[in-house]
């Protein structure tokens, strides 16, 4: 079936959206202003869901004639679209999931910029303040109303994965869904879509009509990982650090599928937190899993963690190969442990307040050449601090690979230079090269030019 390439439309929100203030309208209407630019980029990503591209600039170039304006009427807000991607429409009518997510973007961008001065107001904020900000952003998106029990499984993994790996993520999602568990992912394609798709089928079999498919993203990556249409609750967090904190505060357990630098960043984030002494007794089920063809991948990850962070870090997770039923049973049992712990400690089911997240994992890291060069990638420091800087190194590679600003930095100044201990960086270099060889840095079939250089001190 052929669809129009470009569509003009006037779209009303599905559900309630509060009226915008004159100040909010003015800021979003400034076509050259940063807020309008942010909304424009995120809106295009939503409308372009289903795209095979992970190149934000290529998408912007393809739809350079796209425009979006906010129309304020007495009865509410409407969006006027010009030359929008035709894939977001059927017979001239916008697909319901796309319409919901489009207004989620509007909601989150307005709330974030209205409530917080991200550039200045949170730069010196305490850990407690930042945790409360994440809570308020999720509450504003009405995330907590669906979390009545510990049942939200966060699924991490790459957008650039092989077909057999994607099929395995669907099987795991199906087994989780059959056990009344819900899914939260980064909302994009690949390992972020598969578990939701599998769980949706399982929920239909179990006659579960209110299944949760929560997608958490952030403006820097949304264009490269456009939300998949199964997401029924989308939240745009202001940066990667708040996105990661939202995962571990709202989620009750994590399943990690194969991926690249972004998945390694996520692994180091959760391990760094779990390695902190204050979190020693907090139950947080964590499973690494993939099909039998991916066994070598997890052996490499496991070896790297052991070499860099030690046996203590390896003890924080289980590796399950080619057994989706076992993964689901581990998570289901883990939910009982989480429930018992939170009841005993009077902690909320919907938000993990007691989990201690050091400030090193909370304040945004800007991936500039100077900042990457200054990372402390040396042994002889506390493990959670080493994990924090390793996380930042992988975050920089993600930025250089797919985020518009990071790609621009690489084009202007050349690859990031990652400095550090010779033995540590040798292990890091081996792991990164494996990601390149396995085509985990970009979509399969795409030539990859490294955005980094590993330089030993």
Q: What is the pairing mode between strands 93-94 and 89-90?
A: antiparallel
- Does residue 1 surpass a pLDDT of 60? no
| Position 50 confidence tier, pLDDT thresholds 50, 70, 90 | low
Per-residue burial over 241-276, b = 16 or more CB atoms within 10 Å of its CB, e = otherwise: bbbbbbbbbbbbbbbbbbbbbbbbbbbbbbbbbbbb
* pLDDT (mean) for 380-394: 94
Q: At what angle do helices 261-274 and 383-402 cross, to 10 degrees?
A: 160
Enter the CATH code of domain 6-115.
3.30.1850.10
Residues of the chain with CATH 3.40.50.450: 126-457
pLDDT tens, position by position, 97-145 = 999 898 888 888 887 877 776 666 677 889 999 999 999 999 989 999 8
Q: What is the pLDDT of residue 2?
A: 44
Q: What is the pLDDT of residue 445?
A: 61
| Contact partners, residue 209, CB within 8 Å, separation at least 6 | 203
Distance between CA 258 and CA 288 in Å, rounded? 8
What is the value of pTM for the model shown?
0.91
Retrieve residue 59's tokens: 């998408």
Distance between CA 177 and CA 155 in Å, rounded? 13
pLDDT tens, position by position, 236-249 = 999 999 999 999 99
- Does residue 420 surpass a pLDDT of 80? yes
With the C-alpha atoms ordered 127, 397, 307, 333, is the resulting torsion angle positive or negative? positive
Distance between CA 92 and CA 100 in Å, rounded? 16
Q: What is the pLDDT of residue 199?
A: 98
Tell me the CATH number of domain 126-457, given options 1.20.120.850, 1.20.1560.10, 3.40.140.10, 3.40.50.450.
3.40.50.450
* Three-class DSSP category at 388: helix
| Contact partners, residue 421, CB within 8 Å, separation at least 6 | 377, 378, 379, 456, 457
Any alpha helices (H) in 145-282, and if so which ranges? 163-178, 194-205, 219-222, 240-250, 261-274
Residues of the chain with CATH 3.30.1850.10: 6-115
Mean pLDDT of the chain: 89
Higher local confidence (pLDDT), 62 or 270: 270
Give kind and range of the element (H or E) at residue 69. Answer: strand 67-73
Longest dimension (CA), the chain: 65
């Amino acid at each position: 079936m052929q669809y129009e390439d470009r569509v003009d439309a006037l779209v009303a929100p599905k559900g309630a959206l509060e009226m915008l203030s004159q100040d909010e309208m003015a800021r979003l209407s400034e076509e050259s202003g940063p807020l309008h630019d942010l909304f424009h980029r995120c809106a295009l990503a939503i409308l372009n869901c289903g795209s095979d591209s992970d190149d934000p600039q290529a998408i912007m170039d393809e739809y350079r004639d796209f425009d979006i304006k906010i129309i304020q009427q007495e009865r509410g807000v409407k969006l006027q679209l010009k030359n929008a991607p035709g894939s977001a429409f059927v017979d001239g009518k916008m697909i319901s999931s796309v319409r919901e997510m489009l207004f989620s973007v509007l909601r989150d961008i307005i709330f974030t910029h209205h409530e917080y001065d991200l550039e200045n107001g949170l730069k010196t904020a305490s850990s407690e303040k930042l945790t409360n900000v994440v809570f308020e952003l999720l509450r504003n998106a009405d995330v907590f109303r669906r979390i009545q029990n510990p049942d939200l499984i966060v699924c991490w993994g790459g957008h650039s994965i092989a077909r057999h790996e994607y099929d395995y993520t669907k099987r795991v999602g199906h087994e989780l869904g059959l056990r009344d568990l819900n899914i939260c992912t980064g909302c994009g394609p690949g390992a972020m879509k598969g578990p939701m798709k599998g769980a949706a089928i399982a929920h239909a079999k179990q006659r579960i009509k209110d299944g949760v498919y929560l997608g958490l993203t952030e403006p820097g990556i949304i264009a490269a990982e456009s939300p998949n249409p199964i997401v029924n609750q989308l939240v745009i967090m202001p940066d990667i650090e708040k996105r990661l904190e939202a995962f571990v505060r709202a989620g009750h357990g994590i399943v990690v599928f194969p991926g690249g630098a972004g998945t390694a960043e996520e692994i180091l984030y959760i391990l760094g937190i779990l390695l902190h002494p204050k979190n020693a007794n907090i139950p947080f089920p964590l499973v690494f899993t993939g099909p039998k063809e991916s066994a070598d991948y997890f052996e490499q990850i496991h070896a790297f963690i052991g070499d860099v962070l030690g046996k203590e870090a390896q003890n924080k997770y289980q590796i399950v190969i080619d057994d989706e039923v076992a993964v689901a049973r581990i998570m289901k049992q883990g939910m009982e442990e989480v429930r018992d712990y939170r009841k005993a400690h009077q902690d909320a089911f919907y938000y993990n307040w007691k989990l201690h997240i050091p400030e090193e994992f909370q304040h945004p890291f800007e991936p500039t050449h100077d900042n990457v060069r200054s990372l402390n990638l040396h042994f002889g420091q506390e493990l959670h601090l080493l994990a924090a800087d390793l996380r930042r190194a992988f975050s920089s590679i993600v930025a250089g690979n797919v985020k518009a600003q990071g790609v621009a930095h690489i084009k202007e100044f050349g690859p990031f230079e990652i400095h550090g201990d010779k033995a540590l960086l040798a292990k890091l270099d081996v792991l990164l090269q494996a990601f390149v060889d396995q085509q985990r840095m970009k979509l399969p079939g795409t030539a990859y030019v490294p955005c980094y250089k590993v330089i030993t001190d």
